[in-house]
Amino acid sequence: MENIKFDQDITVMYIAASSFPNGVLAAHQKLHALFTYSANRRYFGISRLENGEIQYKAAAEELERGEAEKLGLPTLILKKGDYHAITIHDYMKDIPSIQKTFDTLIAQPDIDPEGYCVEEYITQNEMLCMIRIKD
């Protein structure tokens, strides 16, 4: 496990999954239909427990202010600060490893109770799993 720092808030626009885990792939497919891959944009999976259910969002970084509004997409803020992080290599070959990794991160005593479980897709095969550390 490592710690990484977001030096500034990151505004993301997202497509909410219809359910978790079954709706996750469809949410990412809808997102990527809107945003073809660009090395200039960061892509995320964002989730947390809300009202007893995991709410999942496939998200892309907003590069220009108002970009989400033009597309009719909701936004949320990934807060700046320190995050516990674990990299998963070849995550598509072992999807259950994602849940196991977040179980490890959630078990840390210093996580932000209002934070999200954040997946950042670094490459086609590499994912960074993160949870914000409370201030």
Cα distance between residue 30 and residue 58, in whole Å: 9
Provide the whole-model pTM.
0.93
What the block records as the tokens of 81 is 């600060």
Provide the residue range defining the domain that includes 23. Answer: 2-132
Report how many domains make up the chain.
1
Task: Return the SS3 of 37.
Answer: coil
CATH number of the domain encompassing residue 41: 3.20.80.10
Express each pLDDT in 76-127 by its tens digit. 999 999 999 999 999 989 888 999 999 999 999 999 999 999 999 998 899 9
Cα separations in angstroms, 77 against 16, 35, 83: 15, 19, 14
